[in-house]
Amino acid sequence: MLNSVHLSNQELEMLKLMVDFLAEKPELCGKLESCTTPHYALTKTYSENFDMQEADAWKVFEELEKKIKEAEYIHVEAPSPIRKWFHISPEEINMLRVIADYFSPQPKMSPASGFVSNRLESTIETYKWVFGTSEGNGEAARENFQNLMEKTQKAVSFRCETLAPLVTTPNPYKAVLDLLQIAGEKLNLDAGIHEMLKRPMRTIILNIPVIMDDGNLRVFTGYRVQYNDALGPTKGGIRYHPELTMDEVTALSAWMTWKTAVAGLPLGGGKGGIRCNPKDMSLGELERLTRGYTRALARYIGPYTDVPAPDVYTDSQTMAWIMDEYSQIVGYNSFGVVTGKPVCLGGSLGRNEATSRGLMYTVIEAAKHKGVDLKKATVAVQGYGNVGYHAARLLDELGCKVIAVSDSKGGIYSKEGLDPKKAMQHKNQTGSVVGYKNYKAVSNSELLELDCDILVPAAMENQVTKANAGRIKAKIVAEGANGPVTPEADEMLYQKGIFMIPDILANSGGVIVSYFEQVQNQMNYYWSEEEVRNKLQSTIVTAFKDVLAIAEEYKVNMRVAAYMKALKRVSDAMLVRTQKPFMTVARQTG
Ligand code: NAD
């Protein structure tokens, strides 16, 4: 399938530098003379210009080279006020390949023109040699180069369309399969059920045409994966991200299956998303994209089949558009088709802080289990968005001392404790917690290793790995984000006696209150915030106690125990829907 891949800002800057280089820009020539190869000259110049390690500049080049090699079509976006997309012609794409090869550590095309000393002439010769005829004066090639240089130098954004499959490393779907294997073995999971749970029940790929503000048409690729619905309608967010992949959506849909099952909800798991960069799109473009996605998906979603919710870069406004579009299609107000809606459109009270409140209830239970006095406990929180901020605020309200918080720009530390609400006010005013009250600065990795009782990673995945797990000092780690601790690090923390509350339990408060929203929509009767909080507490505390009991009985870490609880619920539902164990079927057909 044709996939769209954007060059990152770093890759675009490198490409501009490469074209500059060949155009004999005087400020770059000096560097080239002192280097032995174009590749070295480029990465050295780039690392100096952008204050980056040379090894990282090499990685930027490698990624860029790969995208250029795999590109079927390329488009560049002109700067404002035009902000229009222009095509790069097939000849210009070939020229780009020659340029990328010229800077490659092991050029395959460029030696053909090694005898020409002028860099531009050398590129033109190579182009003629590889893609053109060996005759002529290279005027056409020179024109291609000029056109390409003009478009590249002006470009604010660069998009390649490729037939290569999109992959992320480490592949999150692999982590899902690995944990399924571990928990499945412990549970002695039916072999047929195991086979079915390795794959999603249904994957929908959609291509959505959108008229952009400049009048151009762009086609965006969207996905919806319904992983398993044995326990009820599938449920899970919709993510808008420029680097979204199918494997990522599939892994997230499996996670949702386990998350709703651990929480004891009558729901399955799903996830969706669109490969797009919402930061570069106007509100009107986002609305048209969301409505297009909803129309294409309408027959597959609904209050009794699959219920989307917000995720990365989507919010209550996105949900309001989906609800409205879907309602127009079915002919009546269908509030229950999505959750995470604005309260005035059937959203639930308490949804905004639900993930963090649920996390707080699990921390209270973990503290009782580990004998940690929360009135004296110290807390460090990585990530200060919706989950991190409310977690810090709620733990502070419980009497804990929040000693460090951070966001993508860095962190702050105060041994005496800091005020989470005031730190948030500072972030709202300045864009970051950094600089608040001149507290000591800590990096995001230093924050993880602080001497504290409770660590809440609430930013992104793969933060605690086997490289730093040995240096974590917290007594309790509560995963606010999805996947911040890797499976290898899990086991290391477990061996050190650190109590880990895994994501599918610790941050399940969000989906629990989403389920409450669905229930309220179907009853058309709405609960008070206190009622929502009480129901959330009893649901998540029950889940915590079940998981802890499994961890103790089977002597496994809390993540494996949570998977075991989830798998047991899902597989029991699957088995009871059929006449005989699947294992028999699997053996017969196997
Ligand atoms: P958010 O966008 O509101 O906040 C993310 C925060 O992380 C921001 O403060 C950002 O500055 C910070 N951040 C980004 N990169 C960072 C880095 N490298 N180091 C440190 N901080 C960094 O997002 P959110 O809704 O709070 O979600 C955070 C995590 O929790 C995500 O993994 C999300 O999938 C997960 N989660 C969220 C919910 C929910 O209800 N919001 C539910 C379950 C799981």
**pLDDT tens by residue, 339-398:** 999 999 999 999 999 999 999 999 999 999 999 999 999 999 999 999 999 999 999 999
Ligand 1 centroid from CA 459, angstroms: 4
pLDDT at 27 over 70: no
Tokens found for residue 8: 């990152």
Considering only 40-54, 289-303, 341-355, 493-507, which range has the smallest mean pLDDT?
40-54
pLDDT at 35 over 80: no
User: Bigger pLDDT: 361 or 169?
Assistant: 361
**436/460 Cα distance (integer angstroms):** 23
Q: Is a pLDDT exceeding 70 seen at residue 111?
A: no
Whether the bond between 303 and the residue before it is cis, its omega within 30 degrees of 0, is no
Q: What is the pLDDT of residue 569?
A: 97
In this predicted structure, what is the pLDDT of residue 242?
87
CA distance 293 to 452: 45
Site of tokens 């005027």: 139
CA dist., res. 30 & res. 39, Å (int):
15
Instruction: Decide: 498 and 472 in contact? Cβ < 8 Å.
Output: yes
Query: What number does the ligand 1 atom closest to the CA of 460 have?
Result: 32
Handedness of CA 397, 400, 403, 408 (dihedral sign): negative
Ligand 1 pocket, 10 CB below 6 A? Answer: no
- What percentage of residues in the chain have a pLDDT greater than 70? 94
pLDDT value for 30: 63
d(CA 212, CA 395): 45
Residue type, 341: K
Cα–Cα dist 473/451, whole Å: 5
Nearest CA to ligand 1 atom 13: 408
38 CA → ligand 1 middle, Å: 40
Q: State if residue 387 touches ligand 1 by the CB under 6 angstroms criterion.
A: yes
Q: Is the CB of 7 under 6 A from ligand 1?
A: no
Nearest CA to 508 out of 481, 490, 530 is that of: 481
Query: How many CB atoms lie under 10 A from the CB of residue 548?
Result: 19
The Cβ-side half-sphere exposure at 404, using a 13 Å CA radius, reads 28
C-beta of 382 in contact with ligand 1 (< 6 A): yes
Q: Which atom of ligand 1 is nearest to the CA of 386?
A: 26
Q: Which of 356, 389, 408, 504 to probe ligand 1 with, by most ligand atoms within 8 A of CB?
A: 408
* Residue 390, H or E segment: helix 386-398
Among candidate residues 67, 235, 271, 341, the one labeled active-site is: 271
Question: What per-residue confidence (pLDDT) applies to 396?
Answer: 98
Contact between 457 and 383 (Cβ < 8 Å): yes
SS3 of residue 6 by DSSP? strand
Lowest mean pLDDT among 147-151, 295-299, 360-364: 147-151
Closest by CA position to 420, among listed 453, 458, 394: 394
Q: H/E element holding 488?
A: helix 487-495
Asked if residue 353 has its Cβ within 6 Å of ligand 1, the reply is no
Q: 104-118, 258-272, 574-588 — which one is most confidently predicted on average?
A: 258-272
Task: Say how far apart CA 172 and CA 571 lie, in whole Å.
Answer: 22
- In angstroms, the CA 221 to CA 244 distance is 10
- Two tokens, residue 527: 């609960």
User: Is 343 a pocket residue for ligand 1 (Cβ < 6 Å)?
Assistant: no
Structural element, H or E, at residue 512: helix 509-523
Q: Which residues share a beta bridge with 86?
A: 76
Higher pLDDT, 490 or 259: 259
> Is residue 392 in contact with ligand 1, taking CB distance under 6 Å?
no
Span 136-160, mean pLDDT? 87
Closest residue (by CA) to atom 1 of ligand 1? 385
pLDDT value, residue 590: 41
Q: 407 in ligand 1 pocket by Cβ < 6 Å?
A: yes
The residue written with tokens 């599918």 in the block is 504
Ranges 105-114, 279-288, 327-336, 491-500: which has the least confidence: 105-114
Ligand 1: which residue has its CA nearest to atom 5?
385
Active-site annotation holds for 271 = yes
